[in-house]
Every structure is written in C-alpha cells, then in structure tokens.
Amino acid sequence: MTETEKMIREMNGVLKAVGDDELTIPECASELELLSAVKKEYKRRLLDKIPKYRLIPFEKLIPDLFLQALRSRESELKTGKPRQPDPSE
C-alpha cells in the first residue's frame, strides 16, 4: 500500500465519521496520478461544502488540513524528496 493510499484510507475514515461519502480510489498508472485524481475530487467537494473558499486566489491558502496533506505528498512525489517542515506553519 502506497503512502497516498494510506492517506486516502485515513481521510475516508474521517469523512465516513462525519456522514460524508468516502473518496473512491480510481485505478491509476502511478501514485502521482492517483493523488492528483483524489485531490481534484476532494477539492471539488470541499468547495461545494464551503463556497467561500472559492474566493481564495491560491489553493495553498485554503485552510484545510487534508488538502494541505495532499499537496505536500504531491510535492514529495514530484520532487522525489520529502517535504521539509516549515517552522512558520
């Protein structure tokens, strides 16, 4: 199981606990493709649930921990190295 699949499993646990539908795990050729598909679906749901987030010009400014975690993992996969924690966060 990849790190992304583990993240999705954890996210689904929380989504299910709050009464939302779980994210589906599509068949993808790579972990990065899987992550991109899940991030797109999660962001769509988030913006539907909290429309005022649509006013935020940059995705990285949306105050959502799941979205931040997905972005962080995406960065790791694209660069090939783990993201270093930012002390200002």
The answer to whether position 84 is within a domain reads: no
CB-neighbour burial class of residue 12 (10 A; exposed 0-12, middle 13-18, buried 19+): middle
For residue 27, give its domain range: 3-78
Mean pLDDT for the stretch of residues 40-66: 94
The answer to whether position 21 is within a domain reads: yes
pLDDT at position 86 is 56
The answer to whether position 89 is within a domain reads: no
Q: How far is CA 79 from CA 31, 35, 37, 63, 82, in A?
A: 13, 14, 18, 24, 8
The answer to whether position 87 is within a domain reads: no
Domain count, the chain: 1
The answer to whether position 71 is within a domain reads: yes
What φ, ψ does residue 57 adopt, rounded to 5°? -70, -25
Maximum Cα–Cα distance across the chain: 37
The answer to whether position 85 is within a domain reads: no
pLDDT at position 80 is 87
Closest CA to 63 of 48, 75, 46, 80: 46
Q: pTM for the full model?
A: 0.83
pLDDT at position 70 is 95
* pLDDT reading at 28 higher than 90: no
The answer to whether position 14 is within a domain reads: yes
